[in-house]
Structure 1
Amino acid sequence: MSAPRPFPEDVAPDLADAEFWQGCREGRFLLLRCGTCGRAVWPAGGCPSHGMAPMAWEPASGLGRLHTWTVVHQRYATSFDDPPPNVALVELDEGPLVHSTVIGAARPVIGMRVEADFQTIAPDVVIPVFRPVRGAGDTLGA
């Protein structure tokens, strides 16, 4: 990339998601889990069934399937030029859909198995991305 990846400078982790971002810095993908029904929730917030029931961050597998994706051709910053970035929606094995990007695949395939990886985009800023599952013979699987 020709320049560092931009990110909103006015956005900083708060009490609701600070643990998630710390997990990313440590290479761990975390999800919130409802203390009442056990449902995994994304993004950080209340449970769809139980509102603001007690919630706790827990390690997640980081595994899922590519639900859909698109390539962004509108130029917003030179750091996104080569190659143009993709925006992906990943359905995690735990259930939630997560917006991210897929790396390591020239042309992602809907349904392919993916796993979380982490990219440092600025000092102390690490974001989750997804890549094809390593060693998976049939990435489309059942």
Structure 2
Amino acid sequence: MNDIYSTLDVPGPIPTAISEPFWSALQRGEFALQRCESCGEAIFYPRAHCPHCWSEKLTWRTASGRGTVKSFSAIHRPGHFAWSAVAPYVIALIELEEGPTMLSQLIVDAPADARVGMHVTLRAVQIGKYTLPFFEPARETRQET
């Protein structure tokens, strides 16, 4: 990946008491998701209660960082000027192995390399002063079950 990412001055996350464990884990190079102790569902984005059963019994657990591209879009004209230096880039909906779907940047050589169904893995990327969860094509093929 190009070192230009570390020099970008882009708007970043604003951690809250609820989301801080997610951002701290990324800074350590880990990927963490909330899991509901009542119904067992994994949850993303971080929140105070389970969207499946409304329980407040949520814990943070290390997640696999693996997923599948559900949809994507190539961004040629970024919504914020600071991202222009890396355009065009790909934003994708990633269905995480644990169940939730998250929006993230997909690191590919060219937007034409992105594919729905592509297996991906997390890559924690330093963007200016922030560590963000990006994804890249998986290096190994996973067994289908």
TM-score by length of 2: 0.83
Find the counterpart in structure 1 of residue 126 from structure 2. 120
Is 2:10 the counterpart of 1:6?
yes
Give the letter for the 2:20 counterpart. Answer: A
Find the counterpart in structure 2 of residue 54 from structure 1. 57
Find the counterpart in structure 2 of residue 44 from structure 1. 46
Residue 48 of structure 1 deviates from its aligned partner by 1.9
The within-5 A match list for 1:23-102 is 23-45=25-47, 46-75=49-78, 76-102=80-106
Residue 105 of structure 1 deviates from its aligned partner by 4.2
CA distance in 2, matches of 1:96, 1:17: 16
Change (3 A) 1:73 1:13: same
Q: Which runs of 5+ in 2 are unaligned?
A: none
Task: Flag the structure with higher helix content.
Answer: 2
Residue 86 of structure 1 deviates from its aligned partner by 1.5
Give the letter for the 1:14 counterpart. Answer: T
Q: Secondary structure at the match of 1:135?
A: coil
Residue 83 of structure 1 deviates from its aligned partner by 3.4
Q: Which runs of 5+ in 1 are unaligned?
A: none
Find the counterpart in structure 1 of residue 24 from structure 2. 22
